[in-house]
């Protein structure tokens, strides 16, 4: 297989599903840890092709969804300042803070702009020396190299009006948090292929050894995901627990070492709050002290801002796989894409958005 269309081939998907049926003899719970995989599963009905004994659990793999409400409130406070040009990817503009979102700030006259790369924000800083340009640097390990390069470029250019509001989160600590929970039901993981393109798979090996839980690094197309499930089920049925790579056409075990070096140069490990979940130790990246001049939290004195999650939103339960989106009493009623209560209904990778778009009628009947 060389082309994307081949990874969406119905016959190939059917063969993978049939193989999963043949090897499955017991109930297994498998969590995908990527919002892109969640959307593919729901969109293409991959879970409906599996044996009833296989349960797919949607995990905290959507970077927009896990960005905590306190960080959103910090972004709103910064973006509301008249001297600021606030730059973000589009999804984040509609993520609700405790009182409003960035789109509301924009509609009230704030200079909030959608960009497609952090380097766009660096360019804006060069073109607007009299303004403060802030980039909202969120995401898992996948987006870190580009965000790091933006900071390094700003340093090289001597830009004193560029900064980043950093809210990076890391996958391995999230997996540990899931497995260490007394409510955990997960017996195997599909890991996000794009994260492992950057970081490789070595960080997963101690987790597999400690918890005796297989992890399969998986791509994002239907055949990718079904192959990943097949590989995970085979391990579970055979009583094995290894790190395996389904997405081998892209992922190497060592990852991208030059990118890792640049990340370590700019970022340090920090504790990070996850929306609806709480603080997970050593689960994020923040700017090193050597790059403090680019830290928007310090520059705009918003470090003390905090906020509690709304009680009516069960995003944390959804993100940890304890509830399906349609099990929320607000789903499709008071919480819709045009009026979301929580980030999982906003993001293009959010589980609630996926179910609302592709499974709304089914959820209503349920």
What's the mean pLDDT in 79-93?
A: 95
Please give the full DSSP string across 266-287, using - where no structure is assigned.
Answer: HEEEEEEEETTTEEEEEEEEEE
What's the mean pLDDT in 112-119?
A: 97
Task: Tell me the pTM.
Answer: 0.92
d(CA 76, CA 157): 27
Alpha-carbon separation of residue 33 from 59, 119, 168, 217, 258 (angstroms): 5, 28, 16, 10, 25
Given a cut of 70, whether residue 14 has pLDDT beyond it is: yes
Helix (H) or strand (E) holding 191: strand 188-192
Q: Tell me which of 333 and 246 has the higher pLDDT.
A: 246
Write down all domains in the chain, each with its CATH number in brackets. 4-63+171-238 (3.40.50.11750), 67-168+255-299 (3.40.50.11740), 315-360 (no CATH)
Q: Tell me which of 364 and 9 has the higher pLDDT.
A: 9
**Which residues share a beta bridge with 270?**
284
Q: Give the pLDDT confidence score for residue 365 in this predicted structure.
A: 41
Alpha-carbon separation of residue 195 from 116, 191, 257 (angstroms): 19, 8, 13
d(CA 250, CA 355): 29
Quote the percentage of the chain above a pLDDT of 70.
98
Render pLDDT for 143-191 as a digit per residue (tens, 0 to 9). Answer: 999 999 999 999 999 999 999 999 999 999 999 999 999 999 999 999 9
Q: Give the pLDDT confidence score for residue 250 in this predicted structure.
A: 94
pLDDT tier at 3, thresholds 50, 70, 90: low
Q: What is the mean pLDDT of the chain?
A: 93
Please give the full DSSP string across 274-320, using - where no structure is assigned.
Answer: ETTTEEEEEEEEEE-GGGGGGBHHHHTT-TT---PPPTT--HHHHHT
Q: Give the pLDDT confidence score for residue 49 in this predicted structure.
A: 97
Assess contact for 186 and 213: CB atoms under 8 A: yes
């Amino acid at each position: 297989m060389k082309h994307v269309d081949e990874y969406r081939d119905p016959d190939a998907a059917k063969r993978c599903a049939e193989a999963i049926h043949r090897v499955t003899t017991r109930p297994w719970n498998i969590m995908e840890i990527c919002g892109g995989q969640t959307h593919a599963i729901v969109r293409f009905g991959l879970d409906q092709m599996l044996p009833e004994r296989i349960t797919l659990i949607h995990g905290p793999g959507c970077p927009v969804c896990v960005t905590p409400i306190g960080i959103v409130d910090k972004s709103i406070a910064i973006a509301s300042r008249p001297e600021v040009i606030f730059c973000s990817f589009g999804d984040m503009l509609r993520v609700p803070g405790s009182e409003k979102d960035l789109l509301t700030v924009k509609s009230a006259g704030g200079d909030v702009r959608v960009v497609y790369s952090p380097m766009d924000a660096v360019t804006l800083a060069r073109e607007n020396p009299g303004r403060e340009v802030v980039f909202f640097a969120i995401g898992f390990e996948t987006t870190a190299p580009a965000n790091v390069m933006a900071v390094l470029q700003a340093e090289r250019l001597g830009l004193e009006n560029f900064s980043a509001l950093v809210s990076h989160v890391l996958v391995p600590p999230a997996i540990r948090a899931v497995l260490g929970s007394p409510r955990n039901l997960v017996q195997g993981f599909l890991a996000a292929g794009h994260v492992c393109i950057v970081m490789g798979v070595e960080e997963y090996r101690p987790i597999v050894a400690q918890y005796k839980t297989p992890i399969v690094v998986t791509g994002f197309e239907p055949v990718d995901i079904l192959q990943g499930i097949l590989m995970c089920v085979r391990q579970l049925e055979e009583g094995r627990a290894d790190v395996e790579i389904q997405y081998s056409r892209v992922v190497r075990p060592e990852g991208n070492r030059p990118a890792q070096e640049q990340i370590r140069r700019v970022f340090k490990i920090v504790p990070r709050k996850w929306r609806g979940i709480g603080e997970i130790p050593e689960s994020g990246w923040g700017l090193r002290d050597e790059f403090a001049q680019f830290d928007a939290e310090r520059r705009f004195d918003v470090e003390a801002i905090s906020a509690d999650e709304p009680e009516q939103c069960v995003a944390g339960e959804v993100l940890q796989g304890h509830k399906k989106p349609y099990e929320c009493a607000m789903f499709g009623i008071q919480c819709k894409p045009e009026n979301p209560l929580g980030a999982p209904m906003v993001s293009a990778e959010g589980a609630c958005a996926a179910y609302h778009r592709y499974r709304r009628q089914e959820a209503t009947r349920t």
